[in-house]
Structure formats: C-alpha cells, structure tokens
Structure 1
Amino acid sequence: MAAPILKHFAYDHLPEMLQQVSEPFHRLAHQMDQDLPAGPETSTALRKLLEGKDAAVRAALENTTQTKEA
C-alpha cells in the first residue's frame, strides 16, 4: 500500500517550470516507497524528501520573482 505522504509529491497541477523541479522528487519518492520497508525511518526519509522538494520549488519561485523584478 502506498504511503499517504506520496500525494504531496504530485506535480501535474504546477506550471511547467515548477513541474521540472518537482518531478524528480516525485519519481524518487515513489521509488523509495516501493523499495524500502514500511517503518519510521522510511516515513522520516519521505518527509525530509518532501521538505527538500518544497524548498526546491520555493527556490525556483524565488528565481522567477527576481527575474521579473529585474
């Protein structure tokens, strides 16, 4: 059964530029869910991967904001 956190790795709803940032995290999260045993360490790994994905998306957004301001 897929981990509930995987829903937060969806990226189809994002603009194309952010999809490119988010999609590798989606692939890795699903691979980890498939390959690793269910348990607290896997949950922690997926949660931290989600934090990384969120930070990467924010960084991409920041870059777009700065480009528009210039």
Structure 2
Amino acid sequence: MKYFEYAHLTAHLQTVSKPFGELAVEMNETLPDGPEKSAGLRKLLEAKDCMVRAKLG
C-alpha cells in the first residue's frame, strides 16, 4: 500500500495519483485477503504508474 501514497508528489501529479490511492485503500479495506486481491492491487499500481508517467509526458 505504500506505493499508493501521493502526498509527496507535486500538485499536478497528485491529481492523477490520488484517485488510484483512494481506490486502493477502499479495496484493501473492503475485500478479503487473497491472491486475487493482491493481483488486483498490483494491476492498479501498474495503471497508476502508467498514468503518472503519461502526465509527466
């Protein structure tokens, strides 16, 4: 979950990263632990990283 933190980012990157971080927290808190949850969070992290890189342009 530490990779979904966004407070350290500049404001323009936070606008991209924050929704992913909030969704990750919600999913982590509401879904049972298991391999599918881990895979889903990993894929969400990959998507977040892609979008942040897209913003960096």
Normalised by the size of structure 1, how large is the TM-score? 0.80
Mapping for residues 38-53 of structure 1, pairs under 5 Å = 38-53=33-48
Unaligned runs of 5+ in 1: 1-5, 63-70
Q: CA deviation at 1:9?
A: 0.3
Q: Secondary structure at the match of 1:37?
A: coil
Give per-residue Cα distances to partners, 1:15-42, cap 9 Å, x unaligned: 1000000000000000000111000000
The structure 1 segments of at least 4 consecutive aligned residues displaced by more than 6 Å after TM superposition are none
RMSD: 0.4
AA aligned opposite 2:56: L
Q: CA deviation at 1:10?
A: 0.5
Figure out how many residues of one structure are paired with residues of the other and give that number.
57
What is the aligned-residue identity percentage? 56
Aligned partner (choices 18, 28, 34) of residue 13 of structure 2: 18
Q: Secondary structure at the match of 2:41?
A: helix
Normalised by the size of structure 2, how large is the TM-score? 0.98
Unaligned runs of 5+ in 2: none
Mapping for residues 26-65 of structure 1, pairs under 5 Å = 26-62=21-57
